[in-house]
Amino acid sequence: MRPIRRSIRILVTAALLAATAPLAAQRRPAPGVTHLPEEVMALACSPTLAFEEPLRSLLITGGQESFTHRAFAPGDLITINAGTENGIEVGQEYYVRRVQPARAPVSRANPATIHTTGWVRIYAVDKRMSLVTVSHACDTIDVGDYLEPFALPQVPVGDANPPKQQRENYGRIVLGTDRRTVFAKGDFFVVDRGSDHGVTVGARFIIYRDKRRREMASNYATSRQLAAVEVKEFLFELGEAVAVDVKPETSTLQATLARDALLEGDYVALRK
């Protein structure tokens, strides 16, 4: 009987230990309110475009759980692959980015959308690794996402008397976050015009659609055939947008007015 009683005591002890053990992964204190205006947070989450693979030295590498966890949200403790030896300090903040190519490799012919999944704050540091917490999540933060220094974006101030648009210098809508191709008022999207074309942060654009060209697209097998067709028709003024982030060859715009859905390939004309 003694061996049986001893086994029962062991099981009871194990059950009590299990009952008092943590039921979830290690968590940091609940994230505080950012107190940032909604338009600032939306702008910080907006996409950009890249024609080559970005340098990804600081990476999200995992979490503080006993099981494999690859996607994280506010409240999670997340590990990165750098520490004090790399100049990392408690309190620093970083954007978390993700490359979204249509197919590899990223190139000028196959640009990638750079998707911001959020930004994080350094919570604890070691020599070669650190723990971060999520300050704000635009999406889930995944293993393999990379970090860039954080800086709050400046919301463009509208011009009460914007100049006329440049009709001789049209650009095109390219892509949005998650490689979206349809947009509405308030959405962000990337166009193929940047500082090399005179675009500055706060610059205003008119968005046009060539209805004739879109109608003809269904009658031609390839875009090359379509490009060879001369199209002469007035453009329909579809909406307006403002530049919120500018790179040499591309810009991120936010739609401020949309009379219909804005589509990949629609024209944009800079007011200048």
The CATH number linked to 185 is 2.40.10
Contact criterion met (CB below 8 Å) for 177 and 188? yes
| Number of structural domains the chain divides into | 2
Q: Are 176 and 227 in a shared domain?
A: yes
Contact criterion met (CB below 8 Å) for 120 and 91? no
Q: Are 140 and 199 in a shared domain?
A: no
Q: Look at residue 7 and tell me if it is in a domain.
A: no
Mean pLDDT of 33-45: 82
| Global pTM value | 0.72
pLDDT score for 160? 62
Q: Are 58 and 109 in a shared domain?
A: yes
- Tell me the percentage of the chain whose pLDDT exceeds 90: 49
The DSSP code for 84 is: G
Q: Are 201 and 227 in a shared domain?
A: yes
pLDDT score for 221? 46
Q: Look at residue 10 and tell me if it is in a domain.
A: no
Q: Is the pLDDT of residue 5 over 60?
A: no
Candidate from 11-20, 56-65, 173-182, 236-245 with smallest mean pLDDT: 11-20
Mean pLDDT of 56-85: 88
Q: Look at residue 111 and tell me if it is in a domain.
A: yes
Q: Look at residue 77 and tell me if it is in a domain.
A: yes
Q: Is the pLDDT of residue 47 over 70?
A: yes
Residue 49, domain extent: 38-149
pLDDT score for 214? 53
